[in-house]
Amino acid sequence: MNIRLYNARILTMEEGRDLFRGEIWIKNDRIAYVGAIEEIEEEGPGLPHIKWDYELDCENNLLMPGFKNAHTHSGMTFLRSYADDLPLSEWLTKKVFPYEEKLSTGDIYEFTRLAIMEYVTSGITSIFDMYLSPDAIAEACRDTGMRCVLCGNVNDHTSSPEKMADEYERLNSFNPLITYRLGIHAEYTCSKELIDSVCSVVHRYKAPFYCHLSETRDEVEDCRKRYGLTPARYLDEVGLFEYGGGVFHGVHLTEEEMDILAMRDVSVITNPGSNLKLASGIAPVAKLAEKGINLAIGTDGAASNNALDMFREMYLVSTLSKIRENDAASFDATKVIKMATWGGAQAMGLRDANVLATGKYADIIMIDMHQPNMQPENNIVKNIVYSGSKKNVKMTMIGGKILYAEGRYNIGESPERIYENCNRIAERILA
């Protein structure tokens, strides 16, 4: 398949490269060429004659790398607007765990498809998904066409180091769209013995490691009581960050923990919407950036957020930093858009999906500039971060396949069928 996207404005997210007018050419699942109009005109008829399978006039809209949702639990869409207005501990023990027990892998497959529909409406082209059944998630992503990094979810109840090692070997070769990374749910859901055996798996594969960390103040205090150490310090002393990785949330990190994460090349994935709604706090993103830590953004699951919308998260990253630091100049849009694309790819190990350039995956979105919230065009990046919405997503392409365009889905199933299935399952589980 040869696809040509022309008459576009392009933001490649390459360091130091401004927005320009031009074209993107795609061969199968990769970008074959990204060029400015002037370059293309200069080359003229010298360019190789390509037979296009599909040519799309972008009507002067913006092409950019798709957003990376670097922390989510897709299957939790079944709890959307059911488990609200509760603090994290009560929310988890009363409204999440009891119902999750009733979920089958088929249920998770279906609710993951629902989440994927929402992702593509919001320009998300890859997800970092930690949930109960990685196989069901992998199948849903393969069947719809979503790029997915699965995250190990070891804890005292629903997974184990052996299961994780098996998933790591199996799922990393399951499908080109899927990779798998080692991880635990969190320090507070794993015994010391369990964490030690996870560590031996990490060292066996010499692989990066991921987990929820420092989401709430209580979690940090409990870890101090248990081990006399903050969570990042404790996990680092065990040896889990030897090969880098990432932590989800990082709301209540100490200065020392930040230094550890920086030294170990561990990314912090912030989830501002979820942290607000559960009243967990506001992550210190400005401080983390100063430390040179790679930052990424996640929606977290629909049970706590409740939307899976990167525009909302991008907006929150910047504006919450301003209120936290009491400084309206804090963390502007250019930093945020980098987190949502390049930073996410870095955190997830998707270095072939970080920018728009020859050889990279064709994970591309088109932002509709012909809408009032994108006008006037004083600053297009600021328009996207401060004023943009999923309504501006005109097209979402993953690996050269258009999954969503002009409000229509191309995910191998009809939307109404997915809604029907999801409502039926939710009624059964939440009855």
Name which of residues 76 to 95 contact a second copy (CB under 8 A): 77-82, 84-88, 91
Q: Which residue intervals of 283-394 are DSSP H helices?
A: 285-290, 310-325, 333-338, 344-348, 380-382
Cβ closer to a second copy: 349 or 388?
Answer: 388
**Residue span 316-345 as binding mask against a second copy, x where in contact by CB under 8 A, dash where not:** --xxx-xx-xxxxxx-xx------------
By the rule CB under 8 A, 69 interacts with a second copy: no
Of residues 100-129, those binding a second copy (CB under 8 A): 114-115, 117-118, 121
Please report how close the Cβ of residue 107 comes to a second copy at its closest, in angstroms.
Answer: 11
By the rule CB under 8 A, 386 interacts with a second copy: yes
Please report how close the Cβ of residue 293 comes to a second copy at its closest, in angstroms.
Answer: 21
Please report how close the Cβ of residue 209 comes to a second copy at its closest, in angstroms.
Answer: 29
Q: Determine the residue type at 161.
A: P
Cβ closer to a second copy: 89 or 200?
Answer: 89
Cis status, amide bond into 423, omega within 30 of 0: no
Please report how close the Cβ of residue 204 comes to a second copy at its closest, in angstroms.
Answer: 39
Q: Which residue intervals of 343-414 are DSSP H helices?
A: 344-348, 380-382
Member of 379, 410, 412, 417 binding a second copy (CB under 8 A)? 379
Angle between helices 134-144 and 105-121 (to 10 degrees): 50
# chain residues binding a second copy, by CB under 8 A? 73
Cβ closer to a second copy: 60 or 358?
Answer: 60
Helix or strand (DSSP H, E) at 398: strand 393-398
Q: What's the token pair of residue 7?
A: 């008459």
Of residues 270-289, those binding a second copy (CB under 8 A): 273, 275-279, 281-282
Instruction: Specify which residues 248 forms β-bridges with.
Output: 212, 269
By the rule CB under 8 A, 377 interacts with a second copy: yes
By the rule CB under 8 A, 371 interacts with a second copy: yes
Member of 72, 74, 267, 383 binding a second copy (CB under 8 A)? 383
Of residues 29-58, those binding a second copy (CB under 8 A): none
Instruction: Specify which residues 27 forms β-bridges with.
Output: 2, 30
- Judged by phi (left if over 0) then psi (alpha if -120 to 50, else beta), residue 359 lies in left
Of residues 129-148, those binding a second copy (CB under 8 A): none
The rounded distance, in Å, linking the Cα atoms of 82 and 426 is 10
Helix or strand (DSSP H, E) at 56: strand 54-57
User: CA of 92: how far to CAs of 118, 131, 194, 229, 431, in Å?
Assistant: 23, 14, 21, 24, 18
Cβ closer to a second copy: 21 or 30?
Answer: 21
Member of 29, 309, 313, 363 binding a second copy (CB under 8 A)? 309
By the rule CB under 8 A, 361 interacts with a second copy: no
β-strand pairing of 401-405 with 393-398: antiparallel
Member of 21, 142, 203, 382 binding a second copy (CB under 8 A)? 382
Please report how close the Cβ of residue 386 comes to a second copy at its closest, in angstroms.
Answer: 4
Q: What's the token pair of residue 84?
A: 């609200």
The rounded distance, in Å, linking the Cα atoms of 68 and 217 is 27
